[in-house]
């Protein structure tokens, strides 16, 4: 039971790890110091995790990474919107 | 074989996902828009993943997350150093 809670907490914290970054970009309307490459690298990596989860038929890997991918895409979209004209 | 490559690639991309962010902070000497909360949340989440991996005796979970944790700590250390005085 304790280990289930630790596993769920671990999954929740990392799945929604970029939420504070999204909130910060949203509030400051600035993404100058944020690395777009980090967001793109995570997008590709997490997409490959989803494929790997499909291969393993592991719904935990598929589910957790799908949620992660959504938050990364929100972060990436906001980053691109805010960086427009900076490059 | 193909799936092993996809799994390894997925692990490498996400383990080192914060490396471009570290390089960007290092080069610009600025971390103003970076969310420290995101880095702290990932640190806690990844630490819990390591505990969960120890519980499962799964060396992949332990190993991958240990490497992730090192890169996150480097990112967090640099963030704190650069943010000193900003707060």
ipTM: 0.91
The C-alpha angle with vertex A83 and arms to B42 and A74, in degrees rounded to 5, equals: 45
Judge whether B82 and B29 are in contact, CB under 8 Å.
Answer: yes
**Assigned token pair, B32:** 């103003």
**Assigned token pair, A2:** 């304790």
**Residues A52-65: pLDDT tens digits?**
999 999 988 899 99
Look up the pTM and report it: 0.92
Mean pLDDT of B71-76: 97
Q: Which residue has the tokens 């471009």?
A: B20
User: Taking 80 as the threshold, does the pLDDT of residue A85 lie above it?
Assistant: no
**Assigned token pair, B48:** 């819990």
CB contact under 8 Å between B42 and A6, yes or no, is: no
What is the per-residue pLDDT for A86?
A: 63
Judge whether B79 is closer than 8 Å to chain A, CB to CB: no
Q: Which of A21, A43, A50, A68 to mutate to test the interface with B (most CBs of B within 10 A)?
A: A21
Q: Which of B1, B18, B21, B86 to mutate to test the interface with A (most CBs of A within 10 A)?
A: B21
C-alpha distances out from residue B3 to A44, A51, A63, Å: 15, 9, 19
**Residues A25-49: pLDDT tens digits?**
999 999 999 999 999 999 999 999 9
Taking contacts as CB-CB distances below 8 angstroms, the residues of chain B near A30 are 32-33
**Assigned token pair, A45:** 């990596």
């Amino acid at each position: 039971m304790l280990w289930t809670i630790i596993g769920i907490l671990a999954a929740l914290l990392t799945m929604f790890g970029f939420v504070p970054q999204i909130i910060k970009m949203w509030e400051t309307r600035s993404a100058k110091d944020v690395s777009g490459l980090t967001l793109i690298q995570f997008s590709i990596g997490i997409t490959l995790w989803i494929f790997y989860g499909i291969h393993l038929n592991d719904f935990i890997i598929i589910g957790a990474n799908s949620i992660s991918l959504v938050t990364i895409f929100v972060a990436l979209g906001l980053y691109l919107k805010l960086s427009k004209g900076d490059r």
